[in-house]
Chains A and B, each alone.
Chain A
């Protein structure tokens, strides 16, 4: 397998052999056209592409390989570089976004400058998209390969810029994924800043009562990890803090953070709770999803880390009544209350960043047909967690909100905000992956508490892929939970007793089920969290169509992003359950630690060069560059532009704007692009 396919045919240069005659002193290019198994070869006539370019000036050898990236394929190229004295390589294969690095490394190993490689994308942008037209696809592949050769002939060797590495990392988001990533990093000896925008870490996992399928108490397994975060000397926790701005690149990011005032001195507060006892102002408790109240001075939940109170200025009388009250200040023996705190900007230098910003539960009130927010006994799966939790508003008794009586008939409705083909009301098209198992767990918990309760689950289909999941679901069935394949169109409330009528067609039996329940639980989907768009823009990472962050490669770089040095953990990438979030956190931490382990980072040297003879010092480039990467300075020849190599990112905006044509873009020069265009347009 993987044997270099096309033979060297020295006697007939046009047939893809060695072509010594065609290249006097010019470049010596080797061209390798890849079959990629049948991925390319099924559509593109690879041999024809090889032959079409074999005789071109500068091309010393043209071959086709079954798999160019395989060891055999790479060896063929390495041997040719050595034996035929090649100085440039053109590979027509998959997207450079996949294998450019592979082949650049091969070049470097073979003693060639890696920037003398050019790839023609004849798979993603040819064979895979023109599968029905072999002739046109082959012609296009020829054009693309010729263009790559034309460009390769003009490529110049470049030396990589070398940057230093700040030996610390930042994890953004303190849910279970962020906590895990921070601990993994810290345990590898990396100084780690854990940034959380809420007053405590813990995320959504802290709000859950139990986890599926083991029915572990969620906080019992999470809170030791949270304590570990506090105790670990390599971790610095910055709670109630948001990311404002990010600059720099892998190895040396500069992150500007906004620390919101807690109005409590974290170091002094011992969380005795006296202040909250005396505080006269009440506010809805968001941790209990608004089903109970807290004070204006509060701790989000008893196990919160940092274990410090915080003052909510929206409810605190000091803020709402202009400096009055101050009861907490008077009562606190340790003098921890500090009304003089202000927002504070902190700037940190880190070498790598892990994004673990989690998700936001779907806003069920947008599905007006289900009446969430209007009918008190319609709750969401997250509300259910709080209502059944020992720490929750009912102290662990499952009760329905309208009269706080125990519900006897409970329905669950699946896919609320997920698998919505039309993505109406801010819902997602995708499956949120965890809701089926959350419902299986919750239904089971109802049965556990009240074995004679009647429990119905209305679903699209139950998805139970995971270790022990199917077994757990079957257990629920045998406990008498009724699973109905079919989603109700609406919920109608009886205003007298707040009972809920649910009508749905059971697709399995074809019967219409018309039932009345005491309580309905909506299994809400997971949505990208608020602020993710802005954060993605600050970090420059791409998002996928579902709104979550885009991974480096769906299979092979699941914890990386499009930006080197920035990694992903947990639901920031896509909805996933706790074990998957933790696993990805480990993966992200390992990748980040890998970068931090080296002392220097090599960066692509794509910055421009200024021809001082041509530069007229007009300052247009200076004005346009968003990085301060080019500055006009006084020299003995007058005002001339100068490139600040470490600030420049190589976008090419300056070069494209220079009317004196004094700025030459490295690796994307006008000449290179002209040559490419000309070759592209030459082939019919």
Chain B
């Protein structure tokens, strides 16, 4: 579990950002020096449509306290409709994980364009706040695999 210097728990959040919009939006937040909490760690994917529900579940298993998937705005996906598919898969996954007892809000979805640095920072702030309120994730977490598995792949 992640602790900050004062020994308090800090949430760990994985964000899947599509290369064309949200990743560029995150870069813009950077070049504009808009500050946001450091809890979110980014994985770049070609399109939000690449994000398979399994990837999200794996994150939760590996100890992520929250997962964010962010893509282009409706109509703006670089690959025409990947973001719509992502949204549909996401809606489905949401019901599944609710059924599994994962709190609503651990897994979130957003649209951020390449021009929305400020919006990206806001999304990160909101997601972090929400996950912080929920506390450490307990459902689905496989601690053993978290340590063993990760080490093995390095």
**Quick one: which of B1-43 are within 8 Å of A by CB?**
1-5, 10, 12, 14, 20-21, 23-24, 26-27, 29-31, 33-38, 41-43
- State the Cβ distance, B67 to closest chain A Cβ, in Å: 9
Q: Are A137 and B24 interface neighbours, CB within 8 A?
A: no
Q: Are B41 and A143 interface neighbours, CB within 8 A?
A: yes
Q: Are A542 and B43 interface neighbours, CB within 8 A?
A: no
Interface pick from A144-152, A260-268, A310-318, A631-639: A144-152
Closest-by-CB residue of B relative to A141 is B38
Partner of B30, one of A125, A550, A656, A680: A125
Residue count of chain A within 8 Å CB distance of chain B: 64
User: What residues on A are CB-neighbors of B115 within 8 Å?
Assistant: 542-545, 550
The reply on B98 being an interface residue by CB < 8 A is no
Closest-by-CB residue of B relative to A128 is B30
Q: Are B14 and A677 interface neighbours, CB within 8 A?
A: yes
The reply on A97 being an interface residue by CB < 8 A is yes
User: What residues on A are CB-neighbors of B41 within 8 Å?
Assistant: 140, 143-144, 147, 680
- In the docked arrangement, what's the CA distance between A441 and B16, Å? 52
Q: Which of A124, A149, A676 has the most CB of B within 10 A?
A: A124
Closest-by-CB residue of B relative to A154 is B153
- In the docked arrangement, what's the CA distance between A656 and B63, Å? 22
Closest-by-CB residue of A relative to B23 is A97
- In the docked arrangement, what's the CA distance between A191 and B62, Å? 56
Partner of A626, one of B75, B80, B149: B80
User: What residues on A are CB-neighbors of B107 within 8 Å?
Assistant: none
Interface pick from A455-463, A590-598, A666-674: A666-674
Given A542-B20, A550-B115, A649-B79 in contact, is the A680-B47 Cβ separation under 8 Å? no
The reply on B134 being an interface residue by CB < 8 A is no
User: What residues on B are CB-neighbors of A58 within 8 Å?
Assistant: 154
Q: Are A651 and B153 interface neighbours, CB within 8 A?
A: no
The reply on A133 being an interface residue by CB < 8 A is yes
- In the docked arrangement, what's the CA distance between A543 and B24, Å? 12
Q: Are A652 and B46 interface neighbours, CB within 8 A?
A: yes
User: What residues on A are CB-neighbors of B146 within 8 Å?
Assistant: 678, 681-682
- Interface size grouping (class) on chain B: 35 or more
- State the Cβ distance, A605 to closest chain B Cβ, in Å: 12
Q: Are A653 and B85 interface neighbours, CB within 8 A?
A: yes
User: What residues on A are CB-neighbors of B149 within 8 Å?
Assistant: 678
The reply on B103 being an interface residue by CB < 8 A is no
The digit string for A361-399, where 1 denotes a CB below 8 A from any CB of B, is: 000000000000000000000000000000000000000
User: What residues on A are CB-neighbors of B80 within 8 Å?
Assistant: 626-627
- State the Cβ distance, A612 to closest chain B Cβ, in Å: 20
Partner of B47, one of A147, A652, A676: A652
Closest-by-CB residue of B relative to A652 is B50
Q: Are A679 and B47 interface neighbours, CB within 8 A?
A: no
- State the Cβ distance, A301 to closest chain B Cβ, in Å: 36
- State the Cβ distance, A665 to closest chain B Cβ, in Å: 7
Q: Are B24 and A97 interface neighbours, CB within 8 A?
A: yes
User: What residues on A are CB-neighbors of B78 within 8 Å?
Assistant: 540, 651
- In the docked arrangement, what's the CA distance between A674 and B51, Å? 12
**Quick one: which of B134-154 are within 8 Å of A by CB?**
146-147, 149-151, 153-154
- In the docked arrangement, what's the CA distance between A126 and B37, Å? 10
The reply on A153 being an interface residue by CB < 8 A is yes
- In the docked arrangement, what's the CA distance between A149 and B76, Å? 32
Q: Are B49 and A653 interface neighbours, CB within 8 A?
A: yes
User: What residues on A are CB-neighbors of B27 within 8 Å?
Assistant: 95, 97, 121, 124-125
The reply on A230 being an interface residue by CB < 8 A is no
Partner of B31, one of A124, A136, A678: A124
Q: Are A653 and B4 interface neighbours, CB within 8 A?
A: no
User: What residues on B are CB-neighbors of A665 within 8 Å?
Assistant: 50
- In the docked arrangement, what's the CA distance between A153 and B150, Å? 13
Given A657-B85, A681-B64 in contact, is the A562-B52 Cβ separation under 8 Å? no
The reply on B114 being an interface residue by CB < 8 A is yes
Closest-by-CB residue of B relative to A537 is B75
User: What residues on A are CB-neighbors of B102 within 8 Å?
Assistant: none
Q: Are A653 and B29 interface neighbours, CB within 8 A?
A: no
The reply on A73 being an interface residue by CB < 8 A is no
Closest-by-CB residue of A relative to B85 is A653
User: What residues on B are CB-neighbors of A679 within 8 Å?
Assistant: 150, 153-154
The reply on B116 being an interface residue by CB < 8 A is yes
- State the Cβ distance, A643 to closest chain B Cβ, in Å: 15
Closest-by-CB residue of B relative to A545 is B115
Partner of A136, one of B38, B54, B58, B150: B38
Partner of B50, one of A144, A626, A655: A655
User: What residues on A are CB-neighbors of B4 within 8 Å?
Assistant: 135-136
The reply on A606 being an interface residue by CB < 8 A is yes
Q: Are A676 and B85 interface neighbours, CB within 8 A?
A: no
- State the Cβ distance, A315 to closest chain B Cβ, in Å: 35
- State the Cβ distance, A620 to closest chain B Cβ, in Å: 11
The digit string for B63-97, where 1 denotes a CB below 8 A from any CB of A, is: 11000000000011011111001000100000000
- State the Cβ distance, A254 to closest chain B Cβ, in Å: 15
- State the Cβ distance, B103 to closest chain A Cβ, in Å: 18
Q: Are B42 and A653 interface neighbours, CB within 8 A?
A: no
Partner of B38, one of A130, A550, A656: A130
Q: Are B34 and A129 interface neighbours, CB within 8 A?
A: yes
Q: Are A678 and B43 interface neighbours, CB within 8 A?
A: no
Closest-by-CB residue of B relative to A684 is B2
12 sample A-B contacts, Cβ–Cβ < 8 Å, listed by A number: A128-B30, A129-B33, A543-B115, A626-B80, A627-B79, A651-B47, A651-B78, A657-B85, A675-B154, A681-B63, A681-B64, A682-B150
Residues of B that sit less than 8 Å from A by CB: 1-5, 10, 12, 14, 20-21, 23-24, 26-27, 29-31, 33-38, 41-47, 49-52, 54-55, 58-59, 62-64, 75-76, 78-82, 85, 89, 113-116, 121, 146-147, 149-151, 153-154
| Given A128-B31, A550-B115, A684-B10: 7 more A-B contacts, CB < 8 Å | A540-B78, A542-B113, A652-B47, A670-B54, A678-B150, A681-B12, A681-B63
The 9 A-B residue pairs with the shortest CB-CB distance, nearest first, are A124-B30, A652-B50, A678-B150, A651-B79, A656-B52, A653-B49, A136-B38, A675-B153, A128-B30
